[in-house]
């Protein structure tokens, strides 16, 4: 396998993240089908999860200072 330059590596990582998040539903050759409604819902879920994690960390930090 050949080495990938940094730009191609970054593009591949971004594409994989978009597929994982559901922004891109599928890739078939040079064509990609978008899934915008699912993306909005998944991004909202990620936001809720991040807020819950942050609240948990804040509570843990407050408890450790008592």
For residue 19, count other CB atoms closer than 10 A to its CB. Answer: 15
Instruction: Say how far apart CA 38 and CA 45 lie, in whole Å.
Output: 11
What is the residue extent of each domain of the chain? 6-65
Q: Give residue 2's pLDDT band: very low, low, confident or very high (50, 70, 90).
A: low
pLDDT digits (tens, 9 = 90+) for 17-60: 766 666 555 666 666 565 555 656 666 777 777 777 777 777 77
Q: Quick one: CA torsion of 20, 27, 16, 8, rounded to 10 degrees?
A: -170
Q: Give residue 16's pLDDT band: very low, low, confident or very high (50, 70, 90).
A: confident
> Is the pLDDT at 1 greater than 60, yes or no?
no
Q: Give residue 14's pLDDT band: very low, low, confident or very high (50, 70, 90).
A: confident
Instruction: Say how far apart CA 57 and CA 66 lie, in whole Å.
Output: 15
């Amino acid at each position: 396998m050949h080495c990938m330059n940094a730009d191609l590596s970054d593009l591949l990582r971004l594409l994989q993240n978009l597929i994982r998040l559901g922004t891109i539903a599928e890739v078939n050759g040079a064509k990609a089908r978008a899934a915008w409604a699912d993306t909005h819902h998944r991004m909202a879920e990620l936001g809720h999860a991040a807020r819950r994690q942050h609240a948990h960390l804040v509570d843990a930090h407050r408890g450790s200072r008592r």
